[in-house]
Structure 1
Amino acid sequence: MMGSTSREVVRAVVAWLLVALFAFPIYYWITVAFKPERDIFALPPKLFDFNWNLSSFEEVFGISFGFDKGLEVLPGGGNFYMLPNLWASIVIAVLSTLLTVIVATLASYALSRMRIRGQHHFVFFVLSTRMMPPVAIAIPMFFIYKNFGLLDTYTGIILAHALMNLPLAVLLLKSFFDDIPTEIDEAALIDGASRVLIFRKIVMPMALGGVAATAVLCFVFSWTEFLFVLTLTQTSFKTVPVAASTFVTSTGTAWGNMAALGTAAMIPAFIFILLVQRNLVRGLTLGSLKQ
Structure 2
Amino acid sequence: MNSITDKKVFIKPEFKQWTGSFKYRGAYNFISQLDRTSRNGVIAGSSGNHGIAVSSIAEKFGVNATLCIPKDAPREKLIKINKFNPRVILFDRQKQDRTTLTEEIAGRDSLHIIPSSDHEKIIAGTGTIGIEMLEEHDGLDVILIPVGGGGLASGVALAAHHMNPRVQVIGVEPEIGCDTKISLKANRITSILTPNTIADGLRHTQPGQLTFPIMKKHLDDVMTVTEEEILSAINFSHTKLGLKIEASSAVVIAALLYKKLPENIRKIGVVLSGSNYDHSLLYSGSIEAI
TM-score by length of 1: 0.22
> More relative contact order in 1 or in 2 (CA 8 Å, sep 6+)?
1
Greater helix percent: which structure? 1
Greater strand percent: which structure? 2
